[in-house]
């Protein structure tokens, strides 16, 4: 990795540790352990990059707020992220998460749905606790941001799930970006930035600027994530490779494959995608993967990801240009390039 991007893993490590420490307080096991609190601790204890809480903390600091102003939101965001992961794994019938069997694969759908609910409610508790440092009014504003972020994520998730369930085959890049804007960008980039600026005392005009910036950065992040799902190193990625193909997800590569293929080939692509997960074979998945190479779907998605990251760099220079130099500012400015460089 490029030397100037080294700031990113360094800051992720530092703020990740800060968040993990604060998180522990909300994940103390208590009764009923066996059916709830032991399970709640599972995903958060599997590690993860802590990108989202770190972005929130770094933005707050870059705008002059102490860490204490943003730590509850950072913890809540990480809890909500884990709540989403658990429900996603139920909804997608996924088998692996961060290198181990998913919660529903180990404990069944019923307990897992309930564990996801518990993680989300614990996030609300963390946000309520922020009233002590932020006061009632500002803490309420952060809860308001959280409500918006969760709503956007759920809307995007509905699109993603519904497209698969109905086996839509006529989607285009705009549909994809609209879905990713809601499903990924709001909670990965827009919310952490907005809340960081909010507790740093910025007005709603400044906050609105993060919607554009966060869209470009988040879309680059999601496309890169989908590419890693196809191309990555299994041990580093921690999920089953090509898992998205097994699950029939409408990634940008799948949408491009449906657009670029014709006749019998297109029919076969659509037929494979229409099957339930359990009826897709290893051969089906390998064949889809080869077709993507033949039609240049990977290269196409890579070029969109680069365009998005370029736009994010441009927006970042406008947003952060006026801020005093700091380690946090450096981190924020390096993020768009890091998103593409990560393996």
Binding site for a second copy (CB under 8 A): 32, 34-36, 87, 90-92, 108-111, 113-114, 116-118, 120-122, 124-125, 128, 131, 136-137, 139-140, 143-144, 146-147, 150-151, 154-155, 157-159, 161-162, 165
Which residue number, 24 or 125, has a Cβ lying nearer to a second copy? 125
The least CB distance from residue 123 to a second copy, in Å, is 10
Residue whose CB is less far from a second copy, 174 or 282: 174
C-beta of 162 vs 201, nearer to a second copy: 162
Question: What is the smallest separation between the CB atom of 303 and a second copy, expressed in angstroms?
Answer: 28
Taking the complex as a whole, how short is the minimal distance between the CB of residue 16 and a second copy, in angstroms? 26
Least gap, CB of 207 to a second copy (angstroms): 16
Instruction: Name which of 14 and 88 has its Cβ closer to a second copy.
Output: 88
Nearer to a second copy, 107 or 266 (CB): 107
Residue 181: closest CA among 205, 214, 148, 208: 214
CB of 158 to a second copy, least distance (A): 4
User: CA dist 211 to 8, 63, 174, 319, Å?
Assistant: 22, 17, 17, 11
Query: Which is nearer to a second copy, 111 or 270 (by Cβ)?
Result: 111
For a second copy, the closer of residues 110 and 271 by Cβ is 110
Least distance to a second copy, CB of residue 93, Å: 8
Q: How far is the CB of 189 from a second copy (least distance, A)?
A: 20
């Amino acid at each position: 990795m490029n030397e100037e991007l080294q700031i990113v893993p360094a800051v992720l490590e530092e703020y990740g540790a800060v968040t993990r420490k604060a998180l522990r307080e909300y994940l103390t096991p208590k009764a009923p352990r066996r059916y709830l609190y032991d399970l709640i601790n599972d995903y958060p204890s599997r590690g993860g990059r802590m990108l989202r809480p770190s972005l929130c903390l770094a933005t707050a600091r870059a705008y002059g707020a102490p860490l204490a102003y943003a730590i509850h939101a950072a913890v809540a965001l990480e809890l909500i992220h884990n709540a989403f992961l658990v429900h996603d794994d139920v909804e997608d019938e996924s088998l692996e998460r961060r290198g181990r069997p998913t919660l529903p694969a180990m404990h069944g759908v019923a307990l897992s749905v309930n564990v996801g609910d518990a993680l989300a409610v614990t996030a609300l508790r963390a946000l309520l606790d922020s009233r002590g440092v932020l006061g009632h009014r500002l803490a309420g504003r952060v809860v308001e941001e959280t409500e918006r972020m969760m709503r956007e994520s759920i809307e995007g998730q509905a699109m993603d799930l519904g497209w698969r369930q109905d086996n839509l085959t006529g989607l285009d890049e705009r549909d994809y970006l609209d879905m990713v804007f809601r499903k990924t960008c709001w909670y990965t980039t827009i919310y952490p930035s907005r809340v960081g600026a909010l507790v740093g005392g910025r007005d709603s005009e400044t906050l609105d600027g993060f919607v554009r910036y966060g869209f470009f950065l988040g879309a680059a992040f999601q496309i890169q994530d989908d590419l890693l799902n196809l191309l990555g190193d299994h041990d580093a990625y921690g999920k089953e490779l090509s898992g998205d193909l097994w699950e029939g997800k409408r990634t940008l590569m799948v949408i491009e494959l449906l657009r670029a293929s014709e006749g019998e080939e297109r029919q076969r692509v659509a037929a494979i995608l229409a099957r339930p997960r359990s009826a897709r074979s290893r051969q089906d998945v390998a064949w889809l993967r080869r077709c993507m190479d033949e039609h240049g779907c990977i290269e196409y998605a890579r070029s969109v990801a680069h365009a998005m990251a370029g736009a994010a760099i441009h927006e970042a220079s406008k947003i952060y240009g006026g801020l005093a130099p700091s380690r946090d500012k450096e981190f924020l400015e390096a993020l768009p390039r890091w998103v593409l460089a990560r393996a």
